Structure 1
Amino acid sequence: MIEQAAARKSSKAPTAGALLDAACRIVLGEGLAGLTLRPLAEILGVSVTVLTTHYGARADIIAAICSAASTQDALLLERWRGMLAALPPLPPAMAADLAEAILEEQAIEQRALSMLYLELLHGCTWDRSLQPAFAAWRAQRRAFWDEFGRRAGLFPALLSCGWWHGYAVAELAYSMVLNTLPPYRMLRRLCLQRLFDGAAASAPDAADGALFALLFEQMQSGAAAAGPSAGRAPGWCALAARACGMRLAAQGVSGLTHRAIAAEIGVPHTTLSYRFPTQHELVRAGLEFIAAHILTAVTADSLTDLQRLRTEGDGRKLDLARANFAMAIAAARMPGLAAYTAGMRSRRGNNLVKVLEKYMPAVRGVDALCAQVISMGLTGLTNTEPPGQASESSVASAFSAAADWLRGTG
């Protein structure tokens, strides 16, 4: 039987298009961690030897996938570029409509390609070997969104620092999960409208804020129903939740395996599996740890303490922006996380309001909707670069640009 199966495999090298389609199928179902040579070869109907003989090692195959994806994506983006070129400078309402239409198309019609893009983008933040292969595709998408922002008259500093590209990346991640929810689609549109309206710090419309409050409540109700799990008695469960939260932020859902967590906290693999039977349970435990950590960070007494608590947990790094992004990507493959993701999306910016009021008194009139817009861009920008000093510098520049935008300066 094995010989017969081997005989059925093709000796012909797969095309770049077939390679891309196969990669998208794998990533859509299993995430980037599933994109290994054997399952790729199986879908293509060839042996691993045929695959590597034609394309090379895994790094070369990833590069070929990214090249094919960039080529296909360029054709899709060119249609939107043609539309933008035929239009006069975009008024705010039209800019919001078009941005939403593009995001919705990427999340629905181009779902598989977008999932591959998001998984690779996120993977590059913790696996630097992916960066050379992905760089051109990433630059292509950023160039498109920068061009869109210029046509819409977006505040220049928000473009130059990468904040606007980050916003588009973050919103796409949430759209992949929540696009079927009317409250989310209304919230997405509301945020885009506020962004392109400009002068966001000046007297927001009362109806605008009232609608935001209603949408916030609706999206929170599902998250409350999903609720944090209660009563995990053994003390090691808290250590497991902490380990899950740390790994979720640093490596995404692919880093949450029972063996890795069990080894880290020093309990038998079988014991951990009994309390947390599935990866979904590990993800939920990590999310609960992260949510609790956020509450602690918000009550910080100084900006220094806030920064420390935002990025550290018991002496180890915990980047909340990366953790939130990882959750959104995971939820696209794990529907049970959708309610959590809706709650996370609606809360974006809540903590930032308190930060701005407390540490940036020169910026006045920032309501929750405006803060959410700023937070979305900062979250996305954080996830477009690997952790480190360069990423922290980029976020600091974006925060400064956002403050200038709020003040209407620069």
Structure 2
Amino acid sequence: MELTTATAKPRPRTRPKAPEPRQLLNAACRIVADGGWAALTLRPLAESLEVSVTVLSNHYGTRADVVAAICAAALAAEEHLFGGWHAMLARLGPLDAATAADLGDTILEQLAVAERSRSLLFLEALQASSWDDELRAVFAPWRDARMGFWAGLGRQASMLPEVADSGWLGGYFIDELAYSICLHHLPSYRMLRRLCLRRLFGAARTGSGEASLFAALFEGLDYQDGEIAVSHGAQIAADWPGRAAQASALALVERGVSALTHRAIAAAAGVPHTTLSYRFPTQHDLVVAGLEYIISNVMQAVGGGEDAAEPPRTLARLRTGEGGLDVGRATFALALAAARMPRLVPGAADMRRCRGINLLKLLQRETPPLPGLDLLAAQVASIGLIGFTHTLPNGARGDYARAHGAMLAYLRTGSSFDQASPGRHPAT
């Protein structure tokens, strides 16, 4: 009798030599691009590098040490990348607004496409550092290098120092980069990004077509037939589905989309896992529920309440997550997740098109009135504030007042712009 045995799958060969920092960085980029920051643990990292966990640990240390080495390698690569742009800017001298806007758009394009995986690593680390103090410390030099580059571009384009150096300008490019990565394939988005950058740097325009173009691009990013939409102004249930929506909202803000697991949300809502799964079958359904919960609270805060007449107080509460419902963090998390989860792209596009709508309502209460204030200006202002918020720990106000002041300085020194105000005003 002939005996046969199943052929065992050969185990991948491992290398005895520890990987160099550059190899470590490349492997981390691959892992985070596929699974987000939560996927960056020692075992998959070792497997990607074809070494054992022991080799990796013996050479670098704990996971925290490995992450520190990754951030240091990323900073070195970053200095090489931006070194070329620094050299070009040094040759150009003072920049007019149109040139600065074109440069900003070109650099964002490079970061979102050619440098996509490293940019995703940067943004995922930025998001995770808001709750991980250990990561925050080792990530800070990389973050500060990018912020410093954008501040330098602003100064060269003759922006006020309090605007260029406040962190608000660097925040603008942080938030826009997240959307550039997940929405780059949409012509309406790329044109909107360029239009916003021209407004950011105050580029002069001829004719009066900006408002019409903005309105067309605004509508171009709306949901298409068959796409699951996030409702602006949804009624939140008072029973367990409402608790599940609240739990989803808090998890989305605090830890990103990866935290929205059915078991975690079911436990927070106090219902069986099977009950939650019947009402919210997919993670996408939990994301939608969480966003709708946050948006309903934002609408209430902007539309009324005891501090509605005090824009700075309302903005600080909305942007720094007092109560855990920071719409900026939630929508930023959505944009990051959409880079690897195509089903989330329509929601990310809608959140991007709606940037600034609630901020516009608050800014219209400023006295004296802000010159040239319209939805496009408010969108630029909002993107900067949301991006800057991500450089702060969860719930921290830190230098938020300084960034808020820089935003107002930017708006007060703006030219008299066309009033770009589409008729439909969703609530984000």
Q: One fold, TM greater than 0.5?
A: yes
1:379 equivalent to 2:381? Answer no
Note the alpha carbon deviations across 1:161-200, whole angstroms, 9 max, x for none: 110000010110110111111111111111110111179x
Q: CA deviation at 1:224?
A: 9.0
Q: CA deviation at 1:88?
A: 2.8
Equivalent pair of 1:222/1:340 in contact (CA under 8 Å): no
Alignment of 1:144-163 (within 5 A): 144-163=149-168
Q: Which amino acid aligns with 1:281?
A: D
What residue number does 2:24 align with?
19
Normalized per residue, which structure has more helix?
1
1:267 equivalent to 2:274? Answer no
Q: 1:223 to 1:236 in 2, by over 3 A?
A: farther
Note the alpha carbon deviations across 1:102-146, whole angstroms, 9 max, x for none: 001000000000000000011111111101211111111112111
Note the alpha carbon deviations across 1:185-237, whole angstroms, 9 max, x for none: 111111110111179xxx99732122111111111244994324899999422
Q: 1:241 aligns with which of 242, 245, 253?
A: 245
Q: Secondary structure at the match of 2:17?
A: coil
Q: Secondary structure at the match of 2:199?
A: helix
Q: 1:32 to 1:198 in 2, by over 3 A?
A: same
Farther-moved stretch of structure 1 (399-408 vs 330-339): 399-408
Note the alpha carbon deviations across 1:21-70, whole angstroms, 9 max, x for none: 11111100100000011111111111111110111000000011111111
Equivalent pair of 1:223/1:343 in contact (CA under 8 Å): no
Equivalent pair of 1:222/1:342 in contact (CA under 8 Å): no
Q: Secondary structure at the match of 2:11?
A: helix
Q: CA deviation at 1:300?
A: 1.7
What residue number does 2:228 align with?
226
What residue number does 1:289 align with?
293
Note the alpha carbon deviations across 1:63-119, whole angstroms, 9 max, x for none: 111111111111111111111111131111111111000001000000000000000
Partners of 1:214 and 1:307 lie apart in 2 by: 28
What residue number does 1:167 align with?
172
1:322 equivalent to 2:329? Answer yes
Structure 1 portions without partners, runs of 5+: none
What residue number does 1:5 align with?
11
What residue number does 1:210 align with?
212
Farther-moved stretch of structure 1 (242-251 vs 221-230): 221-230
Q: Secondary structure at the match of 2:19?
A: coil
Equivalent pair of 2:223/2:229 in contact (CA under 8 Å): no
Partners of 1:166 and 1:311 lie apart in 2 by: 13
Report the count of equivalent residues. Answer: 402
* TM value normalised by structure 2: 0.87
Q: 1:130 to 1:205 in 2, by over 3 A?
A: farther
Q: 1:2 to 1:163 in 2, by over 3 A?
A: farther
* TM value normalised by structure 1: 0.91
Equivalent pair of 1:357/1:364 in contact (CA under 8 Å): no
Equivalent pair of 2:163/2:409 in contact (CA under 8 Å): no
Farther-moved stretch of structure 1 (360-369 vs 250-259): 360-369
What residue number does 1:67 align with?
72
Partners of 2:227 and 2:270 lie apart in 1 by: 32
Q: 2:49 aligns with which of 23, 26, 44?
A: 44
What residue number does 1:332 align with?
339
Partners of 1:274 and 1:84 lie apart in 2 by: 56
RMSD: 2.7
Aligned-residue identity in percent: 49
Note the alpha carbon deviations across 1:356-402, whole angstroms, 9 max, x for none: 1124443243011111111110010001111344xx24222222222
